[in-house]
Amino acid sequence: MAGKPFQRSSTPGVSIRQLVEEVPQGCRLPSFDQKPVTLALQEGRNAIFRAVVSGEPRPLVRWQCSKGSLSNSSKYEISSGPGGREHTLQINKLTGEDTDQYRCTAINMYGEAMCSARLTVIEVGFRKSRKRVKEPQEDLRKELAEFRKLLKKRAPPAPEKKVDMEQVWQLLMTADRKDYERICMKYGIVDFRGMLHKLRQMQKEREHKISQYVNILANLRHIKVSKDGVASFHLELDLKDLGSKIYLYKDGEMIPYGFDNQTKHCLRHLGKHYHFQIKDLQPEDAGIYQVKVEDTEIFSTELDASAIPPHVVVPLTEARCKERGDAVFECVLSGPCPDAAWNFQHRPLRRGNKYEVSVSPDGLTHQLVVRGARFSDMGLYSLSTGFHASSAWLVVEAGKDKDLLTTSADHQLQARRGGREARWDADGQGRDATQSPRSRYRPDGPDAGRFSEEARGPAGHFSQGLVDTEVQWGEDAVLSCTLTHDLGPGTWLKDGVKLGAQDGVIFEQDGLVHRLLIAHVQGTQAGRYTFVAGSQQSEATLTVHDAPVIPPDVTEKLREPLVVKAGKPVTMKVPFQSRLPVQAAWRKDGAEVLGRSSGGPQVTLGDDFTRLCLSSASRKDRGQYSVTLRSDGGSAQAELTLQVLDKPQPPQGPLEVQDCQGAGVSLRWRPPRDDGGRAVEHYMVERRQAGRSTWLNVGEPPGDSTSFTDAHVERGKKYAFRVRAVTSEGAGEALESAEVLLAPEALPGPPSAPTILSASSKAITLTWTAPQGPGSAHILGYLVEKRKKGSHTWTAANDRPVPERKWTVADVRQGCQYEFRVTAVAPSGPGEPGPPSDAVFARDPMRPPGPVRDLQVTDTSNTSITLSWARPDTQEGDEAQGYVVELRGSDSLKWTRCHTGTVPGPTYTAKGLRPRESYFMRVTAVNDGGPGQPTTLDTLVQAVPVTVCPKFRLDSSMKDSLTVRAGDTIRVPVPFEAAPMPEVTWLKDGLPLPRRSVTSTKDGLTQLLVPSASPSDAGLYTVVLRGLQGKEATHSFLLRVAACPRAPGPIRLQENVPGTVTAEWEPSPDEGGDSPLHYEVFTRCLGLGPWRLAADGLHTNRFTLLGVLPGLEYHFRVVAKNELGASQPSDTSEPWCIPRHRDAFMVKTPRHREPDLRQKPRFLVGLRAHLLPPGCECCMSCAVQGCPRPQVTWYKNDESLAGNPAVYSTDVQGVCSLIIPSVSPEDSGRYKAVAENALGQAVSTTTLIVTESSP
């Protein structure tokens, strides 16, 4: 495409090319306002590239990649925003194949813009190292789904270890000050000042405690890890008592230590020097270590997890592959190790096309891939971390034709190599004379007539070459080859070194057959053997098998079961002897045990031992373990039994709870599924009442019993039960039941309220009826209780239940009033008490009271009649205790009680009567002696309302005239009384009220309401009450509506009499109205001063102010007022002033003389010397004074520093500074500041010394 070359855009990474000579006005070249960004995402996620383009006309956007097209719509989704400026490329479900450079191009008719972004897909594990094949999308989905399942099966991360802050403070007390910040940040201490203050206090207390046991404590050296992987720390300690015990703690728990190199924690003591060592470091060894003398902390130090060298968790295993295939070695470490190195035959490997080295994202799994393995690649491969190493062998196997190990293409390649001698076989194929593979010949194969590549030299020189030989350690080995022509005795070499009789071998020749005899082969005699005859040679490998050996005493110990307690760490170590690299495989009950980096079993393989560690044993870890040791020399196996003791599991449920009624509660369960390795001694049965938190031990049945009966329960309550199995290891978890309600036994119901048969001063006789309901069929008797009226305490009236339903209570006090109640007793127990009886006095029978007096009707209505009476005349013993009111209709002869019980007072209202019905009424007084003589009204009483003539209830608050402010609400209430409700009429000036006036009448009150008063509302108001009989009542009042007056007119000022001022004003427009008004006059002398009252209560329009002073300005203000308030003020437009005549006077101005402030420069504060290390900032400051202001110049070694870019100077209010941002040894020297003005100069000097940095 023709056009101008690409040009850079203002957006970095964007190239723009113009396709035309000139862009028309109003059009723009395409460009990127926002370009796609480079992404690095994990495999399986979605990648989104966004680009925002601009240009006129709107450009067309195209996405591309270097590997191919983006036409797969399920894989690539291309979209654009609503405005057409934002464009998006989304790549779904990333794989390693998606790693590429993606390019976005925006084109319109005038040009094109281009940018690109890189996508890097981070593959999981080592999938990135394999050669990918184009697989269907469905297979990829299955693979990702399987990998997600694998991730879900991973063990949860180990919980963070809780650290006691007291140990952290002990660590800070003995730590170096340079480590304070690191320790505080690690353990979350943010108050540094408070931390230092607390450390000083703790240091004093610590010194006091230490002085009790120690004379001198010095040379504290914190923990360090050596190259051998041993952690150690050191201190010097002079004990007052050599018998004082020294303890070692880790994270607050005491750990044992020894004094020899055989223990993990070792103490070496020499004089005052104490040297602690921690060997065989594991991740769980990280923590805070403390040294205590008796109970006093002496020294604290911390072993950080990052300082522990990683060890091999999953060692290398032997790798096998076909010739020219890929061999993979994989090793898992306990922690990240960036310095891990791969070696082949103890020589380091370099990355390249041959060797591909990779590390997993978590840094734990290391992988080596040997591409295109040849027989020369066979050997020992190892991974070294610096402290630990793991090694394994690579075995390259032949292809389908095991006797022919190379192809013609290999021979041609070897013939083209420079610097090597090329040979030809019988068929003219090229050979490398320096290569020495196995020598084999197949006369009957498909390649008959040809020698294999191992037979070097002209055709026919070897009829049979050397053959690879494998022997056991200590056996005899024979290497033999046959020549076609006699080429002499020949020479035998081992690994390129000539062999002799002194090497313990025997040379034999039988014609054309040459033999090498090795008796009692040792491991050092294994290697590559070569027979050379003339210019021909043949090679073979002698392999010595050396099977690992497990010592017999170890095998004998492993026969005994290993017994541990749950939660404790377990270490199963099997030592062995082997002269070859060994691979160890652990199995549990036939299943392979895989070592994990954390939270699981850890398998360790050393040079002479293998170890299986369990950080915390559990019952699922028990079983039969076996370890198989394999090497190139054979294999060995050992077995051991692990028994883990733990508390028993809870009994098997459910816990059956059966209510046995009177016998209690029966519990049943099944034995625990796992007894923890010990027999169940007994069970522990506990009970808890609902609503409580305390469990009570109710029994311990033996271990062979799985049932229990609890008889000590209360009926009607809820209980929960739980059962634990108890062994010699302790009590296990509990099997708990749900809360169970024990059904209560049916109790008898309450009897009726007792009835008083008779009462006297000595006894009271009661009777009652039997209770009803369940539990009341078999009544054993009744309990009678009594109490004094007003008391809340019931006391028993009989000791034993009485079978009859009648009882006489003799234990009473004369004159006291008693209440009684009865409780029924059944076989299930006593029931609920019955209701109490009526109160009765313990006294002899009374005489009935006399008739009531002055019975009369006090009020009637349509449905009620109210009576009142006087108490009857009383004599001793016949007082009335209540009254009974009865009535009967005019057409009935039967008296009916108007109420239940008795009426306590001398008045009663009979309600619920028929309107306008006539009734006879009578009242009877009653007491304990019975009813008295009734008193009856002489006439019929009709149930009709009482008639009351209407009248007003006026008091002193009601006035004949009212005055209200215009605009206010008028509310006038007028109370009255009348029966029935009269007709109420409101009038204004003898006429009906206007519509804006509202009246209301209710419950003896009528009210006038005017929302907003106006002058038209003024007048004479009248209220008229008219009853049903035509009687009337009238009330009138006068209402006046007034407003605040309007302001007076303008004010005129004049001086009628010298020394006075007369003010006259126009009257207010409201003067002469209904509300009388007056005027107030205010004056002030200054324009902004306060107004002062000059006159009040003026009924004229004139006021004269006396005592006017010349030269002052007077202002006047007039306000009109009436009973409702004041008007707006009226002020004078111009003030009144009488001019003042002053005498002339002379003013003499003093003569001012300006002082001479000129001064020579002088230094108030001089320069001082500086001694600084390299890299620091240097600031030289001085203070100078002078007038005029002096100019300051800086010199170094008498050379001016003006214009020197390495320094800069400042001058602020006479404080002059020279700043050197970063000093170096070249800045050392003599500096001076020179201050100059027109009167002279001043000099201040100093010296700067920059120290040399330490190597």
Q: Higher confidence at residue 6 or residue 1176?
A: 1176
The separation between CA 927 and the C-alpha centre of its own chain, rounded to angstroms, equals 79
Residue 172 makes CB contacts below 8 A (sequence gap 6+) with 180, 183, 184, 195, 199
Report in angstroms the alpha-carbon separations of 955 from 708, 748, 960, 1169: 90, 69, 11, 104
Q: Would you say how long the chain is, in residues?
A: 1255
- Per-residue pLDDT band for 855 (boundaries 50, 70, 90) equals very high
Q: Is 891 helix (H, G, I), strand (E, B) or coil?
A: coil
With 50 as the cut, is the pLDDT of residue 819 above it? yes
Q: What is the pLDDT of residue 1143?
A: 64
Q: Higher confidence at residue 961 or residue 682?
A: 682
Cα dihedral 927, 928, 929, 934 sign: positive
Quick one: fold of 312-396? Immunoglobulin-like (2.60.40)
* Residues 639, 587: Cα–Cα separation, whole Å: 9
Closest among 844, 846, 845, 820 to 834, alpha carbons compared: 820
Q: Torsions phi, psi of 202, nearest 5?
A: -65, -30
Q: What is the pLDDT of residue 408?
A: 31
Locus of tokens 């009882």: 807
With 70 as the cut, is the pLDDT of residue 128 above it? no
Helices then strands, counting H and E runs in the chain, come out as 6, 98
Q: Over the Cα atoms of the chain, what is R_g?
A: 61
What percentage of the chain reaches a pLDDT higher than 90? 25
- Region of poorest pLDDT, from 2-16, 314-328, 842-856: 2-16
The count of other CB atoms within 10 Å of the CB of residue 636 is 19
Q: What is the pLDDT of residue 945?
A: 80
* Residues 279, 9: Cα–Cα separation, whole Å: 63
- Per-residue pLDDT band for 403 (boundaries 50, 70, 90) equals very low
Tokens of 824: 């029924």
Q: What is the pTM of this model?
A: 0.29
* Residues 831, 781: Cα–Cα separation, whole Å: 11
* Residues 1138, 227: Cα–Cα separation, whole Å: 113
- Per-residue pLDDT band for 767 (boundaries 50, 70, 90) equals very high
Angle at which helices 165-174 and 192-210 cross, to 10°: 80
* Residues 37, 52: Cα–Cα separation, whole Å: 12
- Per-residue pLDDT band for 1110 (boundaries 50, 70, 90) equals confident
What value does the mean pLDDT take over residues 145-154? Answer: 52
- Most confident residue range from 452-466, 1040-1054, 1230-1244: 1230-1244
The CATH number of domain 948-1042 is 3.20.20.10: no
* Residues 1121, 179: Cα–Cα separation, whole Å: 88
Q: Torsions phi, psi of 521, nearest 5?
A: -60, 135
- Per-residue pLDDT band for 426 (boundaries 50, 70, 90) equals very low
* Residues 808, 1065: Cα–Cα separation, whole Å: 107
Q: Higher confidence at residue 795 or residue 185?
A: 795
Q: Are the C-beta atoms of residues 1104 and 1076 closer than 8 Å to each other?
A: no
Q: Is 1190 helix (H, G, I), strand (E, B) or coil?
A: coil
Cα dihedral 843, 847, 850, 852 sign: positive
Task: Supply the mean pLDDT for the chain.
Answer: 82
Return the CATH class of domain 1051-1137: mainly beta
CATH of 755-841, one of 2.60.40.10, 3.40.309.10, 3.30.300.10, 3.30.420.40: 2.60.40.10
Read off the pLDDT of residues 498-516 as tens digits, 9 standing for 90 and up. Answer: 888 777 788 888 888 888 8
* Residues 523, 579: Cα–Cα separation, whole Å: 7
Architecture of domain 1159-1250: Sandwich (2.60)
Q: What is the pLDDT of residue 71?
A: 83
Q: What is the pLDDT of residue 429?
A: 35
Return the CATH class of domain 7-152: mainly beta
* Residues 926, 902: Cα–Cα separation, whole Å: 8
The count of other CB atoms within 10 Å of the CB of residue 1209 is 16
Q: What is the pLDDT of residue 1068?
A: 87
Q: Where are the alpha helices (DSSP H) in 386-472?
A: 408-416
Return the CATH class of domain 398-545: mainly beta
* Residues 423, 420: Cα–Cα separation, whole Å: 10
Read off the pLDDT of residues 1221-1238 as tens digits, 9 standing for 90 and up. Answer: 999 989 999 999 999 999
- Region of poorest pLDDT, from 220-224, 419-423, 806-810, 826-830: 419-423
Q: What is the CATH number of domain 651-741?
A: 2.60.40.10
Quick one: fold of 552-645? Immunoglobulin-like (2.60.40)
Q: Torsions phi, psi of 765, nearest 5?
A: -105, 130
What value does the mean pLDDT take over residues 17-42? Answer: 87
User: Which part of the chain has CATH 2.60.40.10?
Assistant: 7-152, 165-307, 312-396, 398-545, 552-645, 651-741, 755-841, 853-872+880-942, 948-1042, 1051-1137, 1159-1250
* Residues 1114, 1109: Cα–Cα separation, whole Å: 9
Return the CATH class of domain 165-307: mainly beta
Read off the pLDDT of residues 583-618 as tens digits, 9 standing for 90 and up. Answer: 889 888 888 888 765 667 888 888 888 888 888 888
Q: What is the CATH number of domain 853-872+880-942?
A: 2.60.40.10
Residue 221 is which amino acid?
R
Q: What is the DSSP letter of 632?
A: T
Q: What is the pLDDT of residue 658?
A: 83
Q: What is the pLDDT of residue 161?
A: 55
Read off the pLDDT of residues 548-573 as tens digits, 9 standing for 90 and up. Answer: 888 888 888 888 888 998 888 888 88
With 60 as the cut, is the pLDDT of residue 149 above it? no
Report in angstroms the alpha-carbon separations of 214 from 241, 293, 1094: 8, 8, 99
